[in-house]
Amino acid sequence: MRIRIATVVGVLALSVLLPPAAGAPVASTACPVFPADSWWHADVSALPVHARSTQWLSHMSTSTDLHPDFGPSFGDGPDYGIPVTVVRSSHQRVPVRFAYAAESDRVRYPLGPDTRIEGGRSSDGDRHAIIVDRGRCRLYETYDTRARSGRWRAGSGAVWSLRSNALRPEGWTSADAAGLPILPGLLRWNEVRDDDIDHAIRFTTDVTSKHHLWPARHDAGSRTSLAYPPMGARFRLRASWSAAGLSSYAQRVVIALKTYGLVLADNGSPWFFQGEQHAAWPEQLIEDLKSIPASAFVAVDTSSLKVSEDSGAVR
């Protein structure tokens, strides 16, 4: 907190300069999606293009368009995406057996019959579970989440305070290959509806390097060469790309892509970007977002934002 001293009609007055508030809280809570000075909320519109931008993009299928991995779908619908479950602090917590236990937070998780799992409990996909304790503002995320006879298993699991910029230990995965939380990178319906998008958006590509960039903590690539994109790389839509003719909701997302960009968080289909599962996503918005070309993006250098290697806070 900073204090500013000003003179008002000859009288000294103290005013408090508070940091800017983060955008839309998690629905049905008063919890921020990490502090306002988090890397996720950093405006990257004026940052320099990364020196390896051209190299990375040459390995990222830029002849395709973006694919919103959420919303109405006749194949996976009626709506799909990554669901978010909000629970009370009194929710029962259960032990979870992890395949990657050494890099998981081995605490009890608020999982239960009410837990929504990506793709449903019979899915053969990633089966992410995202749970927010609305009383403590704690975020719990698991990957490959399964329940059998009341016992829970997952590939990996991670826990964060939504009020903190602390990162996971270096080298640790999370429910995502980059070792980052998933929730802050999801496009959420309430922030699009209210024109309040203030964060980078999570996306995937198929071939990545065995390296990661701050604030990512982990990687799962297949290439040793630095010419391939690393986990944690941030990509910005060119300011010159025109959204004329797109719906007003789509234009809001375009502005966010130019301001906050995309963050490479996992291996997967090229240029698939993620949003929450929500029945209200407009079909026209989803169709409009599919018209944004991958070739209109550049990688940006976010290294100047770093305050500490072990913190997601930015300058």
Q: Which ranges constitute the DSSP H helices of the chain?
A: 53-57, 189-193, 248-259, 283-289
Say if residue 203's pLDDT is above 70. yes
Q: What is the pLDDT of residue 74?
A: 62
How many other C-beta atoms can be found within 10 angstroms of the C-beta atom of residue 48? 13
Say if residue 239's pLDDT is above 90. yes
Say if residue 2's pLDDT is above 70. no
Q: How far apart are CA 120 and CA 89, in angstroms?
A: 24
Say if residue 34's pLDDT is above 70. yes
Say if residue 40's pLDDT is above 80. yes
Q: How far apart are CA 92 and CA 96, in angstroms?
A: 13
- Name the residue with tokens 């982990």: 218
Who contacts 243 (Cβ-Cβ below 8 Å, separation ≥6)? 250, 251, 254
Say if residue 12's pLDDT is above 50. no
Q: How far apart are CA 264 and CA 235, in angstroms?
A: 8
Say if residue 252's pLDDT is above 70. yes
Confidence band, pLDDT 50/70/90 cuts, at residue 1: very low
CA 281 to chain CA centroid, Å, is 18
Task: Answer whether 0.95 is exceeded by the pTM.
Answer: no
How many other C-beta atoms can be found within 10 angstroms of the C-beta atom of residue 19? 10
Q: How far apart are CA 307 and CA 315, in angstroms?
A: 6
Q: What is the pLDDT of residue 9?
A: 36
Confidence band, pLDDT 50/70/90 cuts, at residue 73: confident
End-to-end CA distance of the chain: 14
